[in-house]
C-alpha cells in the first residue's frame, strides 16, 4: 500500500491505511520526510513536538487504529509505503475518541459504520465537518469516510467495532 496525503499549512486530521512492512512506526520514521516543516503531531492524549533533530513528548509511534492532528508550517505531501492496515478493530470508550479510517477506498458514512456501532454514537467529526446520529443514520455536512482521514467519534457508551468494507 502507498499512502499519499496532501497536507495543508496548519492542522490536518489524518490516519494511515498502510504502515511500513518493517514495523518501524516511530514518529521520526513516519514524519521524517517532512523535515522541519512539521511542528507537532497529536493524537488522543499524546503529543510529539519536532525540535529539528529530535522529537520530544509522549507520542513515540503511530498506530493503525488512531487518528492524528499534524501541524505544518506550509503545505507538503506525506508518503508512507507499507502493508494495508484494514480491517482494524476499534475499542471506543464513552466520550470523544480520535480514530483512523483503515481503508484505502472511501465510502458513505452510513455505509461505513455497522448498525450496532451507530446505535452507540451521538456524532462523528472530521476536519471541518460533522455528522449527528439521526435515528439509525446520519445528518450533517460529513457524508463520506475518506482514506487517509481521521475522525472524532463521540460514543454514548463503550463499544467495539470494525468498519464495513467499502
CA 35 → CA 8, 82, 157, distances in Å? 15, 20, 40
Average pLDDT over residues 127-154: 96
The DSSP letter of residue 29 is: H
Task: State residue 124's pLDDT score.
Answer: 98
Confidence band for 149, pLDDT divided at 50, 70 and 90: very high
User: Count of CB atoms within 10 A of residue 38's CB?
Assistant: 23
Average pLDDT over residues 116-141: 96
Residue 10 in grid coordinates: 496548519
Task: State residue 135's pLDDT score.
Answer: 86
Amino acid at each position: 500500500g502507498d499512502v499519499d496525503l496532501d497536507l495543508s499549512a496548519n492542522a490536518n486530521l489524518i490516519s494511515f491505511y498502510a504502515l511500513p512492512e518493517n514495523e518501524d512506526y516511530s514518529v521520526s520514521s513516519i514524519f521524517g520526510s517532512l523535515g522541519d516543516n512539521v511542528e507537532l503531531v497529536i493524537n488522543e492524549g499524546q503529543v510529539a513536538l519536532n525540535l529539528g533533530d529530535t522529537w520530544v513528548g509522549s507520542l513515540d509511534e503511530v498506530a493503525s487504529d488512531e487518528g492524528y492532528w499534524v501541524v505544518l508550517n506550509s503545505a507538503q505531501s506525506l508518503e508512507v509505503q507499507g502493508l494495508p492496515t484494514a480491517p482494524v478493530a476499534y475499542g471506543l470508550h464513552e466520550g470523544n475518541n480520535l480514530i483512523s479510517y483503515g481503508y484505502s477506498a472511501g465510502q458513505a458514512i452510513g455505509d461505513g459504520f455497522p448498525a450496532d456501532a451507530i446505535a452507540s454514537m451521538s456524532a462523528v467529526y472530521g476536519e471541518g465537518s460533522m455528522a449527528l446520529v439521526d435515528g439509525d443514520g446520519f445528518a450533517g455536512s460529513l457524508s463520506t469516510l475518506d482514506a487517509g482521514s481521521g475522525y472524532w467519534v463521540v460514543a454514548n457508551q463503550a463499544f467495539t467495532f470494525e468498519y464495513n468494507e467499502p
